[in-house]
Structure 1
């Protein structure tokens, strides 16, 4: 009799051959890759992001498109259709039964063990990264491999398509309690607007992380930074400590506390 784990690998390998891809298994599932909502109610259990491509998606400090937590909360980037100084996030909440079912489906799709699917030889390839606990699956050009179980499951991680019966509460705007201010020196072009940075802490004192000089703001400082940057727009420049900077704001996820957390997510 064929072991169920071996059978799953053989089935996955057959799908990859049909799609012309290659799979590189990176080891057995770690215990933390099989999250139990009862054991870790607050931590992330599933997450995905898209990286690569000609536009260079998923750069340092970028937000995952979707994060699901052990208490049933899901935080997803809203599709606004335009660049915003502060990315817009929506919060959803699954029932306990729907959460358990979704995690079972993730395991059935093989997401509880780290692996890479694809040749790795395609320049500027789009890469889908799905994390389940400590296990990360990377899939090259996922839209070209719709038959893969992991890709089919990925389509389930669109909260806008979740049945109402699976949701414990209506969707709502997610307000991050903390925001990372990511600054980089950028002299203003002729005619470009420059304003004094509204916070007391100079931008130049930030920690080098997530592709810029990073500072975490909360409370009144958070609200002040969001208000001024949102009003000024993404092309504005900010004067701080005798230098001029460009600034982008990155909402922090519930488990993130520091700039190092932002760089790791």
Structure 2
């Protein structure tokens, strides 16, 4: 029996400084949103992000969502990176099960062309439904002219039909965007012709916070010695004591090997201290710990 890891990641790890001032249906916090560049400069490389779907907020403490993975990331060379299934056990595996498959150039171009019709553009009004504590879905697309558009929609899948706070036009806009997200999800799942393979990152972000004794009668977890760079690294937010260090090269092999023997609640020991660690593979467009200080 398997299930997706997103729920565990949201419950176990964090996201600060949400763009609370953004208008409904837009994402004011997305760097470069709506800014064009010459077509000759696009794409700069296969690692360039062209589409992404991610979720944030909702009834989850903000200090528990740092490092949450996007549900779908599509790159200029056709790679689609998403989370695969994991065993339905608790505690879950320490490392997320990221999978990658490759779309054809025609498939990539088609989904980018359909993005505007789906409402991923300035001015689309998705409204604010009568739903409390629901997550926000953000969809970002970069077209072949180098223009980035991003929309953020509260309760995209949680709002009820005939919500009194939504107009017919807003409900229609939501349904259209939801259908586009579903299509992206189906592409990420593959059509059976192209098998997905494990995503092997070039570097790994290690998000560490002080380990505390678990309550509620949970079974004790065996300690493991930390084999990587010094913890906790640089604090993303000193108020909540979550540090971040990037592991690569020879250290990456040692850390990955150790993580395969651990779970999400394993106490890691380093320099006389215990830490609870979340392992966050860096995606091709991500550069380091700074990724987790902003609006994601």
Scaled by the length of structure 2, the TM-score of the pair is: 0.69
**2:179 is the counterpart of 1:152:** yes
CA distance in structure 2 between the partners assigned to 1:187 and 1:61 by the alignment: 20
Partner of 2:84: 78
Q: Distance in 1 between matches of 2:114 and 2:97?
A: 28
Name the larger-Rg structure: 1
Aligned equivalents of 1:256, 1:24: Cα separation in 2 = 25
Kept in 2, the 8 Å contact 1:77–1:87? The answer is yes
Preserved contact between residue 114 and residue 135 of structure 1 (Cα < 8 Å): no
Q: What residue in structure 2 maps to residue 92 of structure 1?
A: 101
Deviates more, 1:208-217 or 1:109-118: 109-118
Check whether the contact 1:26–1:113 (CA below 8 A) recurs between aligned residues: no
Q: 1:114 to 1:214 in 2, by over 3 A?
A: farther
Aligned twin of 2:141: 132
- Distance change in 2, residues 1:121/1:241 (3 Å): farther
What RMSD, in angstroms, separates the aligned Cα atoms of the two structures? 3.3
Residue 178, structure 1, aligned to residue 203, structure 2: yes
Structure 1: tracts of 5 or more residues without a match: 1-21
Unpaired runs of at least 5, structure 2: 1-22, 143-147, 162-170
Q: Could you say which residue in structure 1 is the equivalent of 2:145?
A: none
Could you tell me whether the CA contact under 8 Å between 1:188 and 1:194 is conserved in 2? no
Match of 2:235 in 1: 208
Name the residue aligned to 1:52: 57
Deviation readout 1:184-219 (Å, 9 max, x if unpaired): 0124469553333223x3213x01128721111112
Distance 1:161 1:196 in 2: 36
Q: Distance in 1 between matches of 2:60 and 2:41?
A: 36
CA positional deviation for 1:221: 1.1
Q: Which of 257, 260, 263 matches 2:287?
A: 257
User: What is the TM-score of this pair, normalised by structure 1?
Assistant: 0.76
2:119 counterpart (104, 110, 127): 110
Q: Equivalent residue of 1:155, what SS?
A: helix
Structure with greater strand percent: 1
Q: Which structure has greater helix proportion?
A: 1
Change (3 A) 1:196 1:155: same
Q: Distance in 2 between matches of 1:141 and 1:179?
A: 31
Residue 157 of structure 1 aligns to a residue whose secondary structure is helix
Q: How far 1:25 sits from its partner (Å)?
A: 5.5
Deviation (angstroms), 1:56: 5.7
Q: CA deviation at 1:164?
A: 5.9
- How many positions carry a matched residue from both structures? 238
Q: Is the 8 A contact 1:203 1:213 kept in 2?
A: yes
Give the 4+ runs in structure 1 shifted more than 6 A: 33-37
Return the offset for 1:152: 1.1
